[in-house]
Amino acid sequence: MMQSPQRAAAAEAAEHLLLTLTIAGRLCGIPVPRVRDVLANQAIARIPLAPPEVAGALNLRGRIVTALDLRHCLGLPPAEAGVTRMSVVVEQEGELYSLLADSVREVLNVPVEAREELPETLRGTWREHAVAVHRLQDELLIELDTDRLLAVGSRGTGEWRR
Amino acid sequence: MDDLIAEFLAETTEALAELDTALVRFEREGGGGGDTLAGIFRMVHSVKGTCGFLGLARLEGIAHAAETLLGRYRDRELEVTSTGVTAVLVAIDAIRSIIQGLAETGSEPTGDDTALLAMLAEAARDATAPPPPPAAVATADAEPEPAPAPPAAAPAHPVTTGAAAGPDPVQAIRVSLGVLDDLMTLASELVLVRNQLLQVARGQENSPFTTPLQRLSRITTELQEGVMKTRMQPVSAAWNKLPRLVRDLAAELGKKIELELTGGETELDRQVMESIRDPLTHMVRNSADHGLEDPEVRRRAGKPEAGRISLAARQEGGRIVIALSDDGRGIDFARVRARALERGLATEAEIAAMRDQEVARFIFRPGFSTASGVTAVSGRGVGMDVVRTNIERIGGTVELESEPGRGTTLSLSIPLTLAIVSALVVQAGGERFAVPQAAVAELVRVGGTGAPVEWLDATPVLRLRGQLLPLVPLGPLLGLAPPPAAGPIDGFVAVLQTGGLRYGLLVDGIFDTEEVVVKPVAPILRDLSVFSGNTILGDGSVIMILDPAGIGRSTGAQSGTEPAAATLASAQRRDDAAQLLLFRIAGSATPVAVPLSLITRLELLQPERIENASGQLAVQYRERLMPLVPIGAWTPPEAGRAQPTLVFQDGVRAVGLLVEEILDVVEQQLSLRSSEGQPGFLGSAIIGDRATDVLDCAYWLKQGDPAWFERAGGPPPRVLVVEDSSFFRQLVVPSLVAAGYSVTACVDAAEALRHREEGLAVDVIVTDIEMPGMDGFGLLAALRRGGAWADIPVLALTGRQQPADAARGLAAGFTDYIQKFDRDRVLDALTRAIGERAA
């Protein structure tokens, strides 16, 4: 498996900014430079036949943004119906995607000393979508790999258009 | 450095596109065109200069060698030869491929150009005047000659030399497509906000916001149109590679071909442009390979040796029509018939009954080829079916006309833009979806009061005018509902016609049509073939746009559903048969009929959209207020029930007639019994064993818009209609009256001539061809022999439309030769005939 740019960058940088969010009680982080917007409780239109990670599409000020449910991406149980979810909008190759998290917290400046490689024993989906673990004062922060999260389409087995 | 390379790439790509065209022109002019050569030299020179500056050694070497050769041509030291031009063209190809590598990797790809450089040097040396050969080689290899054209000056070249930019070189700047797309997004967003505001304001009377809102509304529309315009490009950008292609093809095939391009300044949205580039190339290849004969054959047939392919673009309303004609051998219809029979596409009897035009449609079927051998040029596994599929994917149509021995014309009709399409919003499984209106042939209510859905094993079908239409239930297809069980189904069927597919999309509900801004789906959803895009509706919600062709493919609906021979043959209606829309009006059980050709659209209006302004009903329709006229004892529909509406449109004017229920479309001969007493109806007729009233459209349209029949200034032009069929008289006369003509109708040629003797003044005559007694040709001859009407334009109306008939008609001296039911063409021809006469 090729190393993603984010993994490489994370290994080099002395410190970096992470937007922290929670998914089913876990504290996770996404590099701030990738984040374009954070929104609450948007109406999401379902997209039939889409990969299961795709929660739907939403209207971000006139742009259509595809929403991925981080719970599904990470193999966690779905959120309860009617609960407010947060949209973290990230950009990949000029295209915007919304990552649905349970809540969004503060932006943290994570020092490189606190960074740990992923433990060998980490389970499948987490291992696949995480870049590193950061030791915070009283908890652990899992840094997510946005490129890996957004790679859902390329794993799809559906027929190719054109 | 990166920016410099990007800029260099952008301008060089543009310059290369123009170079091809310019070089072919140059060769044809035999080197006489000094301006052309100077332009070519300048472009190559500028490429060379910039390459040197950027340290692109391969590019510089090739450009330099080409420049040396061109320089000698320019200075008239060398005779321009075909070999020389070929060498330059090869050099340009090499430059192009290096540029492409550069764009992909950011650095020059490696490669060996020795052979090419030698070829250019050879051409530069090969001459009557003997310049020392080693010198030429040395020049090509060594002489550094550093950048005479600094990059700062370079951007001026593509703009000023841009022949494609149209005849009027105005001031222009280069704007990145990203910026334009962002502007487009913002404008669309503004439209949505405007729509929301309008919705809010509608509920409030005498609001101080009304006037500023109206201004905002107008400005928004103008802004959106303006932004759309910035995305337009002249169509010549899609065909600037064709002269080169044709030149190469001619050489490859041993034919002489002249290519004529007209209307290149016609503008198209850049997205549409991308979609037609390949089909156009394929069509030109096809014409050159199959259409045009060898010079020898042409000479024997008494044609000029050089075949002609002409490409003409023009705008017609919201569409662009591109016609590609050749003067080649035409289509061998006998051969197409034989091949269709051989492939089992239709029975012998059906094929025999088909007209050539219908037979021509077989050519667009996948894998259908009459070419006996596959040639290197067009036997590439793609056929006309691919052209049709590509064109239809963007909502366009392809038509083919051919006259054996005289040539073939392919007409593409494509929308100006893909960014905005009219879409029908439907509901299935609790979700809404948009269907491109261009694919919707008709809407049918099924179950309940409508036609029943029937079952063939586990497949639902609908019997529609004697044919079985396969149904695709949308909800189950999208996994939103369980597969339907055999049994009655309530809902709506949108009959979709796309490519060779025809099927009914079974949905739970139908909403309005809306003009939507199409946005591509996210890359991670690209493999969902049932969607062609997504969009944001007026209420701000996101919905998916269905791809009718993709749905057809994914359900395997194509097998056996093509309205092939059987349908084509049955569609061959008798001259007097017309398609009639049957509907019911409030408070009456008698069905009412109106010729379908007069109706522009059928709409289902939501009752809350219907406004009542001092007794006059109206609706906001496509940015305008459209008057609505209820027929019969109309009452507003209950909430939640849509109001069926027949929309009649004439230019910008539109009137909607409110009816109770739309019943069916039937095709049959009408024998009309007129009834004097009942205003609003022409009379009655028996349709499908039932007494049916025939609507007098003129009466109702006048109710909605008293100005409908008024023309700007002057007395109305006078038309004499000669037509023996009372039905056609009833059909043609009201539509002419509606268009503002003063009409005199008569039943045969003798009556027409009597009118002439009585001194009736007319401006134009419209006559049927086949009439008892003296026919149309006879009447024309009688008129032309002398008398008061000797030089009045005479249009022929015919039920038959064969190219040969049209040719015979025009040869006999008819001003135009038109098919009876084509209302728009009839009106168009009349306007033209009168205009020409006045001029």
DSSP-assigned letters across all residues of B469-486: EEEEEHHHHTTSSPPPPS
Per-domain boundaries in chain A: 5-152
**Is A63–B185 a contact, with Cβ atoms under 8 angstroms apart?**
yes
**What is the DSSP secondary structure assignment for residue A45, as one 8-state letter?**
B
Alpha-carbon dihedral angle through residues B248, B253, B258, B260, given to the nearest 10 degrees: -70
Q: What fold is seen in the domain A5-152?
A: OB fold (Dihydrolipoamide Acetyltransferase, E2P) (2.40.50)
Tell whether B68 lies on the interface with A, counting CB pairs under 8 A.
no
User: For chain A, how many helices (H) and strands (E)?
Assistant: 5, 11
Q: How many CB pairs under 8 A join A and B?
A: 87
Count CB-CB contacts under 10 A for residue B175.
10
Contacts of B550 in chain A (CB under 8 A): 161
Interfacial B residues in 522-561 facing A (CB < 8 Å): 522-531, 534-536, 540-544, 550, 554
Q: What angle do CA B407, B409, B412 make, to 5 degrees?
A: 165
Q: Which domains does chain B possess?
A: 2-163 (1.20.120.160), 177-230 (1.10.287), 234-415 (3.30.565.10), 420-567 (2.30.30.40), 573-704 (2.40.50.180), 711-838 (3.40.50.2300)
Q: How many angstroms separate the CA of residue B165 from the nearest CA in chain A?
A: 30
Bridge partner list, A18? A31, A108
Alpha-carbon dihedral angle through residues B60, B61, B65, B70, given to the nearest 10 degrees: -10
Choose, out of B193, B528, B541, B555, the residue to mutate when testing the contact with A (most A CBs < 10 Å): B528
Q: Report how far apart, in Å, the C-alpha atoms of B724 and of each of B435, B470, B672, B813 are.
A: 43, 41, 13, 21
**Is B523–A64 a contact, with Cβ atoms under 8 angstroms apart?**
no
- φ, ψ for residue B135, nearest 5 deg: -60, -45
- φ, ψ for residue B416, nearest 5 deg: -60, -35
Give the contacts of B322 (CB within 8 A, at least 6 positions apart): B235, B276, B280, B311, B312, B313, B411, B412, B414
ipTM of the complex: 0.82
Task: Please state, in angstroms and rounded to a whole number, the distance separating the CA atoms of residues A14 and A109.
Answer: 11
Choose, out of B532, B542, B545, the residue to mutate when testing the contact with A (most A CBs < 10 Å): B542
Exposed/middle/buried for residue B146 (C-beta within 10 Å: 0-12, 13-18, 19+): exposed
* pLDDT recorded at residue A89: 94
Residue of B143, B591, B224 lying closest to B417 (CA atoms): B224
Q: Pairing mode, if any, of strands A103-111 and A95-101? A: unpaired
- φ, ψ for residue B592, nearest 5 deg: -120, 145
* pLDDT recorded at residue B44: 80
Bridge partner list, A161? none
Exposed/middle/buried for residue B540 (C-beta within 10 Å: 0-12, 13-18, 19+): middle
Mapping DSSP to helix (H, G, I), strand (E, B) and coil, where does residue B360 land?
helix
Q: Looking at the predicted structure, is the pLDDT value of residue A147 above 80?
A: yes
pLDDT tens digits for range A113-127: 888 888 877 767 788
Compare B198 and A143 and report the one with higher pLDDT.
A143
Give DSSP secondary structure letters for B731-796. HHHHHHHHTT-EEEEESSHHHHHHHHHTT---SEEEEESS-SSS-HHHHHHHHHTSSTTTTS-EEE
Give the contacts of B258 (CB within 8 A, at least 6 positions apart): B306, B307, B308, B309
Mapping DSSP to helix (H, G, I), strand (E, B) and coil, where does residue A79 land?
coil
Contacts of A54 in chain B (CB under 8 A): 524-525
The amino acid sitting at B728 is F
Q: Residue A149's closest chain B neighbor by CA?
A: B524
Tell whether B487 lies on the interface with A, counting CB pairs under 8 A.
no
Task: Please state, in angstroms and rounded to a whole number, the distance separating the CA atoms of residues B799 and B727.
Answer: 13
Per-10-residue mean pLDDT of chain B, 839 residues long, equals: 70 77 75 68 77 77 84 78 82 85 80 84 65 37 39 36 43 79 80 76 78 87 84 84 87 89 86 84 86 89 90 81 90 83 78 78 70 42 70 80 87 78 89 89 84 81 83 91 82 82 90 79 81 83 88 62 33 48 83 80 80 80 80 78 81 80 75 68 77 81 71 68 79 77 86 86 87 85 85 81 73 80 76 69
Would you place residue A159 in the very low, low, confident or very high pLDDT band (cuts 50, 70, 90)? very low
* pLDDT recorded at residue B237: 84
* pLDDT recorded at residue B675: 61
Tell whether A54 lies on the interface with B, counting CB pairs under 8 A.
yes
**Is B522–A46 a contact, with Cβ atoms under 8 angstroms apart?**
no
Tell whether A152 lies on the interface with B, counting CB pairs under 8 A.
yes
Q: Residue A151's closest chain B neighbor by CA?
A: B524
Tell whether B486 lies on the interface with A, counting CB pairs under 8 A.
no
**Is B541–A152 a contact, with Cβ atoms under 8 angstroms apart?**
no
What is the Rg, in whole angstroms, of the alpha carbon atoms belonging to chain B? 31
Q: Residue B185's closest chain A neighbor by CA?
A: A62
For A161, the closest of B188, B192, B527 (CB atoms) is B527
Contacts of B394 in chain A (CB under 8 A): none
